[in-house]
């Protein structure tokens, strides 16, 4: 049984031994709350008692700890003294949106779809975003605040596999598993036309000049090219591949269509001649998921379920002898679902089933950075025209808008270079520096740059006049001509 609280020793009101007079009870200390057979020290109270006591006076424990009269432990005296001035902490510098702890790249999360986000694009001078989803909707977003501006009506009756927008951002299309392709006016949201097919549509793209629409058809393993104004069929190539198509795209000249398939092959169709110009069989060791051209149309990138990306020089046909001129590996731990070149080909972005977005240095052939944050597969990626933003769509029903404006200042870039074991040597002939990798065959015996080894001074002059991105790709692809 708990004993009675003692009086302060030596106080005038201390009772005589053996007396229990009520008037002589100690009034200098508040009664203690019993806690088993051990008395609490007079200067501390149980936390629960403090909460109950201060809660009656609408005063938080944090505030009461700042009051000088608190040592008396008398709740009735708490408000009788002036509170000390509150210290206002300095506001912390906050990133726009959230911040991923590993990559330190600011991003904003776009939430609005109720199912997998299958496709994403920048439009209207990078101020708007376009997305398609398995929830049978196509949405237009404000890129600044991340709000939905418009749901395009009438909605498809099945999941949207892909959407595309014209270069002038005036029209957009969406392909759906209801076997239709619909076109809308982007500004008004008015439905312009609708075409139906006899099979599922895996992919659809506008041509850069806005005159054509290409659709990748599933069951008949072909492509259909449609006039974008009146929706009439220009070409319908059946059995173009031996298995179902996964993606298709136009070249920058709007005259050629590249298509990829589960059969691991790449085909390029010419609209003018109505013939297949190039066929690359067994381009990957597994199904090819996506493809995209560079701005010059000389190079085509393909992503695959074999966890790699490959860049092909389709202009000179160098792949015929020695395969892809650049193979990008060690970027994703799982299948690669999508790929997209920056406008000047200075870098490449890919998305994968490992929930990450990879940013690649195309010329050097290494991964600059891995953007992490999605909780499920990354299904599509896009790059803004000013190269400051990367947009990613995911199976987790969200899109993420990443700010990569200062990517070159991130230390991780240097770390990935070192991880690949890159070295820089000086050519013994022209004194020009060139990069090699420890994993390269005969890397220790190389003493000349690729141009001196080939004796191709004219190639160097041509490459120097091109853009930085195309220049890097040309140097990487040069050895393939002699391979």
Decide if pLDDT at 80 tops 60. Answer: no
pTM metric for this prediction: 0.68
Can the peptide bond before residue 319 be classed as cis, meaning omega within 30 degrees of 0?
A: no
DSSP β-bridge partners for residue 482: none
pLDDT exceeds cutoff 50 at 181:
yes
- Structural domain ending residue among the three candidates 80, 106, 123: 80
The answer to whether residue 87 sits within a structural domain is no
Residue 227 lies in a domain: yes
Domain edge (last residue) among 365, 398, 419: 419
- The CA distance from 300 to 315, in Å, is 9
Q: The domain containing residue 47 runs over which residues?
A: 22-80
Q: Report d(CA 55, CA 189) in Å as an integer.
A: 55
Q: Are residues 403 and 442 in the same domain?
A: no
d(CA 30, CA 5): 9
48 shares its domain with 179: no
- pLDDT for 52: 54
Q: How many Å apart are CA 311 and CA 329, to the nearest integer?
A: 12
Q: Is residue 361 part of a domain?
A: yes
Q: Are residues 434 and 467 in the same domain?
A: yes
Assess contact for 257 and 300: CB atoms under 8 A: no
Whether pLDDT at 187 is above 50: yes
Distance CA 241, CA 232 (A): 23
Same domain for 141 and 44? no
My answer on whether 431 and 400 are in the same domain is: no
> Would you say residue 314 lies in a domain?
yes
Residue 10 within any structural domain of the chain: no
Residue 276: CATH number of its domain: 2.130.10.10
The verdict on 270 and 150 lying in the same domain is: yes
Residue 33: its pLDDT value, please?
Answer: 40
Are residue 186 and residue 298 in the same domain, yes or no? yes
Residue 462 and residue 318 share a domain: no
* Interval 459-468: pLDDT, tens: 334 344 344 5
Domain membership of residue 391 (yes or no) is yes
Q: Are residues 327 and 201 in the same domain?
A: yes
**Rounded distance, CA 309 to CA 291, Å?**
9
User: Is residue 322 domain-resident?
Assistant: yes
Res 196 pLDDT > 80: yes
Do 200 and 66 sit in the same domain of this protein?
Answer: no
Distance (Å, whole) CA 444 – CA 425? 10
Last residue of a domain, one of 365, 396, 419: 419
Residue range 416-437: mean pLDDT, rounded:
54
Count of domains observed in the chain = 3
Tens digits of per-residue pLDDT, 17-55? 444 444 443 344 444 444 333 344 444 555 555 555 545
Examine the domain organization and report whether 318 and 430 are in the same domain: no
Q: Are residues 369 and 262 in the same domain?
A: yes
């Amino acid at each position: 049984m708990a004993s009675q609280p003692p009086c302060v020793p030596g106080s005038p009101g201390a009772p005589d031994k053996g007396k229990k007079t009520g008037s002589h009870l100690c009034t200098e200390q508040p009664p203690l709350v019993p806690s088993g057979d051990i008395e609490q020290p007079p200067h501390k109270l149980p936390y629960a008692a403090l909460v109950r006591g201060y809660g009656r006076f609408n005063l938080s424990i944090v505030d009461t700890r700042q009051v000088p009269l608190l040592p008396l432990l008398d709740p009735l005296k708490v408000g009788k003294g002036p509170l000390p001035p509150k210290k206002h902490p300095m506001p912390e510098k906050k990133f726009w949106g959230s911040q991923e702890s590993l990559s330190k790249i600011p991003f904003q999360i776009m939430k609005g779809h109720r199912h997998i986000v299958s496709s994403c694009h920048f439009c209207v001078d990078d101020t708007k975003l376009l997305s398609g989803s398995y929830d049978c909707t196509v949405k237009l977003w404000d890129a600044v605040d991340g709000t939905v501006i418009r749901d395009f009506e009438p909605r498809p009756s099945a999941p949207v596999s892909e959407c595309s927008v014209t270069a002038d951002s005036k029209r957009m299309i969406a392909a759906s598993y209801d076997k239709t392709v619909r076109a809308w006016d982007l500004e008004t949201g008015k439905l312009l036309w609708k075409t139906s097919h006899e099979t599922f549509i895996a992919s659809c793209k506008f041509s850069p000049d806005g005159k054509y629409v290409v659709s990748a058809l599933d069951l008949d393993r072909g492509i259909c090219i449609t006039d974008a104004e009146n929706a009439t069929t220009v070409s319908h190539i059946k059995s173009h591949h031996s298995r179902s198509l996964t993606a298709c795209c136009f070249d920058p000249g709007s005259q050629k269509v590249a298509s990829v398939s589960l059969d691991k092959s790449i085909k390029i169709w010419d609209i003018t001649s109505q013939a297949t110009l190039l066929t690359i069989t067994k381009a990957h060791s597994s199904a090819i998921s996506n493809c995209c051209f560079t701005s010059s149309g000389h190079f085509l990138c393909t992503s695959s379920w074999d966890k790699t990306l490959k860049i092909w020089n389709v202009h000179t046909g160098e792949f015929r002898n020695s395969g892809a001129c650049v193979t990008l590996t060690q970027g994703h731990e799982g299948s690669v679902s999508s790929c997209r070149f920056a406008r000047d080909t200075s870098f490449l972005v890919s998305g994968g089933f490992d929930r990450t977005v990879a940013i690649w240095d195309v010329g050097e052939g290494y991964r600059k950075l891995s953007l992490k944050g999605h909780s499920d597969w990354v299904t599509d990626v896009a790059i803004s025209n000013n190269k400051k933003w990367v947009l990613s769509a995911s199976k987790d029903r969200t899109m993420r808008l990443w700010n990569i404006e200062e990517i070159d200042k991130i230390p991780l870039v240097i770390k990935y270079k070192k991880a690949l074991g890159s070295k820089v040597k000086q050519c013994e002939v022209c004194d020009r520096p060139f990069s090699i990798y420890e994993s390269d065959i005969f890397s220790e015996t190389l003493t000349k740059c690729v141009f001196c080894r080939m004796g191709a001074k004219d190639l160097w002059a041509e490459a120097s006049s091109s853009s930085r991105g195309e220049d890097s790709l040309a140097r990487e692809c040069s050895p393939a001509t002699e391979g």
